[in-house]
A = this chain, B = another copy of it.
Amino acid sequence: MLQDHSVHVQCGDCPIRHRAVCARCDTDELTRLEQIKYYRSFQAGQTIIWSGDRMEFVGSVVSGIATLTQTMEDGRRQMVGLLLPSDFVGRPGRATAAFDVTATTDLVMCCFRKKPFEDLMAATPHIAQRLLEMTLDELDAAREWMLLLGRKTAREKIASLIAIIARRDAALHLRRPAGALAVDLPLTREEMADYLGLTLETVSRQISALKRDGVISLEGNRRVTIADIDRLMEEAGDDSDGGMLV
């Protein structure tokens, strides 16, 4: 009986390598990464790291989806990061986590124990440079997200979220959309609400409204078909096309 073969993915020929930490590593550097890496699986709903925990490792999402969230004492919750395959988790140079990291689907991570990774980073400028690039991208994304949270209407927020997921999906698979585009929403209504700073009822109402108005259509309640991307972007209120689709 074979083990789940996802645990045998190699960084070097991983299909998402073009977006990963090791995107520009040479074979020598890859070898050293291989030596310190290991895989961990998490079940849907499982918390990977609690805010305030000691961080034992850093790593990349190989498959599945994780979220970064912050919760106030009274239970108000805000998602502050959505981690899709190739995204980096953890913070070299800091001992404890500032946010909760949760697997929202079954998840496989490619992990590196923190100390060896930091040593390798110190010895391999490539990696720090690539990590800087990725962190700057994340910061840009966080800033777009801030505009969404602070100024967009509920309808614009939903349209934006669908556009963001469609874009990430396309970027990951290096493909451009062929006509009507189908996207799986990897989040529950409640998770979308936490992403958007809304309640789940408002999310549900606005998705219904976009459907009623012909901007999207639904198969089941997770799979969305986007009839007209330009119309969706317009509904999202984005001034730029946000670098839509790579």
Contacts and interface: CB of A to CB of B under 8 A. Distances in A.
A10 interface: no
Nearest to A153: B76
Contacts of A105: none
Contacts of A93: 132-133, 136
A80 interface: yes
Contacts of A147: 70, 72, 78, 80
Tallying the copies of this chain within the complex gives 2
Interface in A78-107: 78, 80-81, 91-94, 98-99
A31 interface: no
Interface stretch (A11-19, A34-42, A138-146, A173-181): A138-146
Contact of A151 (B76, B91, B135): B76
Contact of A80 (B68, B76, B125, B143): B143
A142 to B, nearest CB: 4
| Interface size range of chain A in the complex | 35 or more
A73 interface: yes
A186 interface: no
A77 interface: yes
A146 B80 contact: yes
A151 B72 contact: yes
A146 B78 contact: yes
A196 interface: yes
Given A93-B133, A136-B135, A151 B239 contact: no
A30 interface: no
Contacts of A77: 151
Interface of A: 52, 68, 70-73, 76-78, 80-81, 91-94, 98-99, 121-122, 125, 128-129, 131-133, 135-136, 138-140, 142-147, 149-151, 196-197, 237, 239-240
Given A142-B142, A142-B146, 8 more contacts: A68-B143, A70-B144, A72-B147, A80-B143, A91-B136, A93-B132, A131-B132, A132-B135
